Structure 1
Amino acid sequence: MRKLVWLLIVLAALWGAWWAAATTQMQSTLTRLLDTRRAAGWEVTLKEIDKAGFPLSLQNRLSGFAVADPARGLAFEAPQLDLSAPVWWPGDLSARAPVAAADLPAGALPLTLKMRDLRADLELHPGTSLQLEAMELRSTHLEVDGPDGLLLKAEEPRMRIAQSGSAPRDYDIALLPGGITPGPLLRKVLGDGAGQPGGQPILSARMAVTFARPLDRHSAMAGTLPQIDALTVENVDAAWGEVALGAEGALTFDPAGIPDGVLSLRVTNWTKLLDAGERAGFLPPSMRGQVDTMLRLLEARGGTPGGLDLDLIFTDGQMMLAGIPLGPAPRLVQP
């Protein structure tokens, strides 16, 4: 009996030593990653890191955490961020924040995301490179703000990224934003679709991406995604009231990020979409009649009353919509 007691004491001591070493290593890896970002010109703020989770999990609590890349307009801030992983495999990592905010550049429309109960779950392959096997981001509440205020709210938004079993460079991405409430600006532009049949806004997207190399710790240390070689859009669907948009297709990208391929676009009730474009100022009133005539010809060609079926073609660095030249194709610039 005495030997059993001593054995339990020794095992408990070894377990405690392993937990302390693993938690310290987790903290050291995080500190090294943040130092790398500082050296790259990022602004990093961190008040303190506390260890917790004994005996079954490794946990670091970050207080007053904020990072920003001024050169690209990227930023993330969380007053409290908990990083945890099971003690037997630190590669299954979870990050939780009661509240968080992020700034994202979106061309001429920079966005600010405000999140409640943010959670990110990562699954990493065992090995020195720690390839990303899967990641799921979710929040109980999301607000998206533009320069002129609130754009939309989403309840229980969720995004999942999963490595394909057939090739380590291929990832399946699903975006499911949950219940959406448009903000005042979108209601002004799109009209009060909530009062029409099917008025609850709908948005979903599923696609497959092929990167130049797998997502791993090297990508995290560099702070950039690998080049995208190919993109397959399985479906992108958006609807509000009587207006609906859809897209599917496949593109490849050369080393300069120039696309080649076809995206098939579907529009339901395109006249209402023109009304929205005119209200938003994207379509000058002087051009409304010309654009209306052209789209009616395309509608007649497709044979769907009130609908448009259009191919957006990218080839030789140029793009065309339904055979109409639109000019140089935009380059895909990695964030």
Structure 2
Amino acid sequence: MRRLIVLVIAAALLWSGYWVVGARALRGGIETWFEARQSEGWVAEYSDHALRGFPNRFDNTFSDLSLADPATGLAWQAPFFQLFALSYRPTHIIAVWPNSQLIATPLAKFDIDSTRMRASLRVAPRGSLAVERAVFESESVAIRTREDGGELTLEQLNFAMERAAGFERRYRFGVDGTGVSPSTPMRKLIDPQGRLPEALGTLKADTIIEFDAPWDRFSIERARPQPVLIDLKLAEATWGDLQLAAAGSLTIDARGIPTGRITVKARNWPEIIQLARQSGILPEAMVNLTERALGTLAQMAGNPKTLDIPLDFKGGLIRLGPLPIGHAPLIRLR
């Protein structure tokens, strides 16, 4: 019995020592990271960093956190931010955001409110801490643009990311949003007569993306990985009677110019044409020609209300058959 008690006490002392050493190393690593960002010209500061959780967890709470990257113009401010990890599994991290935060870009500032926002992150145990899996969940999210007062709201937004087996830089992404209500300025642009319901019924995406570098700690410290391949398995959205789905693949060059084909399936497409006309997106002079051309394609497919539109991306343009219909977007992450 005495020997058992001695073993239990020794084990407790060893575990306590492990926690203390681990906590000191973690605090030192965090302080070094912030100092390194400041030396690069970042705004990287907090008013307090509490590290608790003895003996089984490392619970980090940052107060009045501010981060701003001068190279991209991106900034984030939060009254607090929390990172939790089990002391015996430090590569599995839980992140918790506050109910209110601010994100600033070179184009606009966004106030973000939510009732719940958290993520689970699993990283590789060694080296650059490459992301192996991440799951993000949020509820009752409101995103307000300070410049025009527009507010985008979501009942729920879930996001998942997982590194593909056997690949270092390829990831599978899933997005699922419900109760997505566009901002008033966006709604007036798309639906000036108010014919659509307030919220989208469905917003989902399933895609595989390969980048030029893995997502790891250097993704924040140095530069964001840039996509070189997008394999869109399915993206779909419903808004009232309007239904859109898309699938296809694109390769992206070093300038961010995509090449490939995305096929868009549109149900009740005549209604989409009318919305485009009313909003001014489609010039009045092009309405009849567009309706006749798309109507012919729909009849050839056998369903006059459903349209499959193959969009070819080549040379910086988007083409419908031989006809260029617009410039392809540059696909670059800041």
**Which TM-score band (shorter chain)?**
0.7 to 0.9
Is residue 184 of structure 1 aligned with residue 187 of structure 2?
A: no
Cα pair 1:140 1:156 within 8 Å, conserved: yes
Alignment-derived partner of residue 310 in structure 1: 309
Alignment-derived partner of residue 15 in structure 1: 15
- SS of the equivalent of 1:140 reads strand
Q: CA deviation at 1:318?
A: 3.6
Q: CA deviation at 1:264?
A: 0.4
Cα pair 1:259 1:331 within 8 Å, conserved: yes
What does residue range 291-330 of structure 1 map to in structure 2 within 5 Å?
Answer: 291-326=290-325, 329-330=328-329
Alignment-derived partner of residue 148 in structure 1: 148
Distance change (3 Å), C-alpha of 1:180 and 1:35: same
**TM-score, normalised via structure 2 length:** 0.87
- SS of the equivalent of 1:148 reads coil
List per-residue Cα deviations over 1:278-316 (Å, max 9, x = no partner): 444433445444444443344344443133211111234
Distance change (3 Å), C-alpha of 1:323 and 1:169: same
Distance 2:181 2:11 in 1: 54
Cα pair 1:259 1:315 within 8 Å, conserved: yes
What does residue range 193-232 of structure 1 map to in structure 2 within 5 Å?
Answer: 193-194=196-197, 201-222=201-222, 224-232=223-231
Distance 2:321 2:151 in 1: 31
Cα pair 1:235 1:247 within 8 Å, conserved: yes
Distance 1:255 1:331 in 2: 10
Is residue 126 of structure 1 aligned with residue 160 of structure 2?
A: no
**TM-score, normalised via structure 1 length:** 0.87
Distance change (3 Å), C-alpha of 1:259 and 1:186: closer
Identity %: 28
Cα pair 1:158 1:178 within 8 Å, conserved: no
Alignment-derived partner of residue 268 in structure 1: 267
Is residue 66 of structure 1 aligned with residue 69 of structure 2?
A: no
Alignment-derived partner of residue 94 in structure 1: 94
Is residue 236 of structure 1 aligned with residue 235 of structure 2?
A: yes
Distance 2:29 2:37 in 1: 13
Distance 1:216 1:51 in 2: 23
Distance 1:99 1:71 in 2: 28
Distance 2:308 2:21 in 1: 60
Query: Which structure 1 segments of 5+ residues have no match?
Result: none
List per-residue Cα deviations over 1:192-248 (Å, max 9, x = no partner): 4339xxx852100110011223222332332x3223221100111011111111110
Distance 2:249 2:233 in 1: 8
Cα pair 1:23 1:60 within 8 Å, conserved: no
Equivalent residue letter for 2:43: E
Cα pair 1:79 1:99 within 8 Å, conserved: no
Equivalent residue letter for 1:226: P
Q: CA deviation at 1:260?
A: 1.6
Is residue 32 of structure 1 aligned with residue 35 of structure 2?
A: no
Paired residue total: 330
Distance change (3 Å), C-alpha of 1:192 and 1:317: closer
Distance 2:144 2:26 in 1: 34
Is residue 78 of structure 1 aligned with residue 78 of structure 2?
A: yes
Alignment-derived partner of residue 134 in structure 2: 135
Distance change (3 Å), C-alpha of 1:286 and 1:108: farther
Distance change (3 Å), C-alpha of 1:244 and 1:327: closer
Q: CA deviation at 1:83?
A: 0.8
- SS of the equivalent of 2:115 reads strand
More moved, 89-98 vs 233-242: 89-98
Distance change (3 Å), C-alpha of 1:127 and 1:272: same
Cα pair 1:181 1:201 within 8 Å, conserved: no
Q: CA deviation at 1:102?
A: 4.6
Cα pair 1:100 1:118 within 8 Å, conserved: no
Cα pair 2:76 2:104 within 8 Å, conserved: no
Q: CA deviation at 1:327?
A: 5.5
Q: CA deviation at 1:154?
A: 1.4
Is residue 169 of structure 1 aligned with residue 136 of structure 2?
A: no
State the superposition RMSD in angstroms: 2.7
Distance 1:45 1:127 in 2: 26
Cα pair 2:117 2:137 within 8 Å, conserved: yes
Distance 1:274 1:285 in 2: 11
More moved, 14-23 vs 238-247: 14-23
Distance 1:186 1:328 in 2: 21
Distance change (3 Å), C-alpha of 1:259 and 1:181: closer
Distance change (3 Å), C-alpha of 1:97 and 1:330: closer
